[in-house]
Amino acid sequence: MGCGTSVTGSRAKKSERAIKAAILIQRWYRCYMARLEMRRQYALSIFQSIEYAEEQAQLQLSSFFTFMLDHFTYLNETDTGSDVQLLEYERTIEVPDSYRGPRLSFPLTVADTNSLLHAFKDQQHLHARYVLQLLHETKKLLKQMPNIIHLSTSYSKEITICGDLHGKLDDLLLIFYKNGLPSEENPYLFNGDFVDRGENSIEILIILFAFLLVYPNHLHLNRGNHEDHIMNLRYGFTKEVMKKYRSHSKKILNLLQDVYSWLPLATVIDSKVLIVHGGISDTTDLDFLNLFKRNKMKSVLRPPKSSTERNHDPERTDFVEYSPIRRVKKCLPGQDIAVKGMTRPSSSSSHTRRYTSDLLDVGEHMCLLHDGVNSGPLLEAQYLESSVRMPSVPSELTAKEWKQVVDILWSDPKNQNGCTPNKVRGGGCYFGPDVTARLLKRYNLKMLIRSHECKQEGYEISHDGQVITIFSASNYYEDGSNRGAYLKLNPDLIPRFVQYQVSKATRKQTLHQRVSVVEWSALKSLREKLYSRRSELTAAFRQYDPNYTGRISATEWASTVESVLHLDLPWRTLRSRLVQLAPDGSVEYLSCFNDLEIEPAIKEVQPALVETLYRYRTDLEIIFNIIDKDHSGLISIEEFRQTWKLFNSHLKIDIDDESIDNLARSIDFNKDGSIDFNEFLEAFHVVNKFENK
């Protein structure tokens, strides 16, 4: 009896110890997973903060890029011409016998869409002739559609809604593999941002437009904020098209501008679910959005001119004002314009009129004037040793129309009530639950579905279930950074989410390894951001360090970094990953620059200039893409000088011409008077010193 009791007690103790051990292991595992999740969350926050800061910079430069496009659009022949001219151009493009890709015939069939999918899986390109024909047919179809599409689930039972794809073809192919191809029984809605960032944006557009032509009532597209030719200049799509289609890229890109402008702005399902790309504001008016001419909105980044920029008297046709950078003198008929000694005959009279103008103090000459009764306002300008005569077309877009579209393409939800400007992105607004509730009640809706934001799990539900964010580009920032998702909506309007993640390199990695890769990539991007503002940060740090000790408090370091970078990140938490800490807890502030350098170092160039060029390298690339007439990728030293002068005049950066000339000569490695602009961009990238060695 006693022995049995002893055995029973021993077993009980062992069982108790096992339970305690299991509880300890469980606690440790939960803490471990919580730490990994925290690391993944702040890595995502870093990526998003940098992304939104870049978008803000893009919007802040919108007036400058408008100026550039106004001056170089006609120089680069961006007018696509009439449909007849376009068709004639398409017929002149020969498809060689050696071409092994898909050969399309219109109207398209399911066989054509299947051949496109197989070709793109094999990394083939569609010939330029077929691309232009496809875009032309897509434009004709889109022009027949309303601004807001109305759909019903009663016929197909379910509609699949996809969010941002951003050029990630593997995600689109995976969606089709898991969910089936678009068809009458399997309708899809793609909610904008098909292009930019990824490497296969043009292939995604071709696939979506092809399915749209085959199933116009069962595949639907909403416009996103990246269906915008100026956004494409910065975020990679323009460069992708130029690389893949070279001599025909101009026509393709220009036709795409028209296609973008005809994309529907919103979709309503069963009169209860509103789908827009970005969101809403407290002034969103669906009735207004449904009626205005949406093709007037070529780019959100080209807002309508204010009353001070337009002619003060709309009835007058003898002059136009325009001042994107500095002052432009008004010129009336009969006055003289001397553009570097050049004259031009008038098209509106038999005699020659001479014109004179003031010089812009940006090193260039221009004046806006009216050229008689035929062509409206004209611009005479000299850039890059080439006189250009072009119409200056006043925008018909009103401020209300522009704001309505900006709000639905750029806005984000927030948890707090109210509607405030979206200062993080620089466009649209933050809208709260109260704004959502009012709009849904006003239009008798139940739910708002939107995209526009990368979510770690591919989707997010907010505003008490009334707002759903769906994002379909997995691994958006880095392999393993996020899942993609799509949702299926049935007649009961109950969303069903399907998550996925395209995994190649990350498939064999542990969770810890995947998080570490994402975290490392985020911190690398953040260190580069710090390095690009090295001079400003150093000067700001030293205001707290008058004795040059090299150390300041953690609070001072965090507030200084935020005041310069404006990324709204938890700098105190991040400091241990970015800088070295002294034994007393203070920050050795220069240590955040120790591991990085801009390579290759060019001895003839001042360090301050190198830093400035690195910081604005993306903007310089946009400018170059605008003025690169033949898309050769080569830029003359004179073109480089003019590019920098234009940009310098806008940002008021204090760098003299001699420094720019020294830089241009130093990177003209073969001394042929031309610079490979891609090599120039590569010349200004930050590398880790120790990795490099």
* Site of tokens 């003839």: 604
Chain centroid to Cα 564, Å, comes to 23
Distance between CA atoms of residues 534 and 162, nearest Å: 41
**Looking at 337-385, which runs of residues are DSSP E strands?**
365-370, 377-383
Q: For the chain, what is the radius of gyration of the CA atoms?
A: 29
Distance between CA atoms of residues 124 and 101, nearest Å: 6
| SS3 of 434-447 | HHHHHHHHHCCCCE
Closest residue by Cα to residue 319 from 328, 310, 331, 301: 331
Distance between CA atoms of residues 576 and 34, nearest Å: 19
DSSP state letters, 31-56: HHHHHHHHHHHHHHHHHHHHHHHHHH
Distance between CA atoms of residues 412 and 418, nearest Å: 12
Bridge partners for 185 per DSSP: none
Q: Which two tokens stand for residue 556?
A: 């001072």
Q: Which two tokens stand for residue 199?
A: 């490497």
Q: Which two tokens stand for residue 267?
A: 């979709």
Let me know if 669 is exposed, middle or buried by CB neighbors in 10 A (0-12, 13-18, 19+).
Answer: exposed
* Site of tokens 């539900």: 461
Distance between CA atoms of residues 12 and 477, nearest Å: 52
DSSP code of residue 592:
G
Closest residue by Cα to residue 181 from 153, 206, 215: 215
| SS3 of 552-601 | ECHHHHHHHHHHHHCCCCCHHHHHHHHCEECCCCCEEHHHHHCCEEEECC
Contact 195, 167 (CB under 8 A): yes
Coil/strand/helix, residue 189: strand
Q: Which two tokens stand for residue 92?
A: 């002149």
Q: Active-site positions?
A: 226
Chain centroid to Cα 614, Å, comes to 19
Bridge partners for 275 per DSSP: 267, 449
Q: Which two tokens stand for residue 144?
A: 């027949």
Distance between CA atoms of residues 432 and 413, nearest Å: 6
Please state whether beta strands 685-688 and 484-489 pair in parallel, antiparallel, or not at all (unpaired): unpaired
